[in-house]
Amino acid sequence: MERRQQPRTSIQCQVYFICVSADGRESSQDIGVARDISSGGMMLETTTPINTMDIRIIASTPDNQQIETSGGVIYSMQVGEGRYNTGIFFQSDSEKSARFIEQLVLAYDVGG
């Protein structure tokens, strides 16, 4: 059964992510690949599991603008040898998330 409320757009975009601990400190950081995105969230593929509840995501557009949003981790599960999929819902204010989503879809949509 499909639980998503918004349709997802397939993208392929390398992003930098920062895991944030419960006390608001940056606990770890790494690089992953955003695989799909919607107005509600995104799926991030990484080489390590993400063991935090809050995450910041930073991406660069093709014209080298840095864009950022924050989210909450819904799940992080292993899907292959050294591959993890992490479901993230966006927490940023709607304008910041909307700009992030729009720019990633325009630049990295693999279906269109």
Domain with residue 49: its CATH number is 2.40.10.220
In a domain, 6, yes or no: no
SS3 content of the chain, % helix, strand, coil (to 5): 15, 55, 30
In a domain, 7, yes or no: no
In a domain, 78, yes or no: yes
- Give the residue numbers spanning the domain of 19: 12-108
Q: What per-residue confidence (pLDDT) applies to 24?
A: 87
Q: How many domains is the chain built from?
A: 1
Residue-wise pLDDT for 64-103, tens only, equals 999 999 999 999 999 999 999 999 999 866 788 888 999 9
Q: What per-residue confidence (pLDDT) applies to 91?
A: 80
In which residue are the tokens 């995450």 written? 55
In a domain, 65, yes or no: yes
Considering the entire predicted model, what is its pTM? 0.86
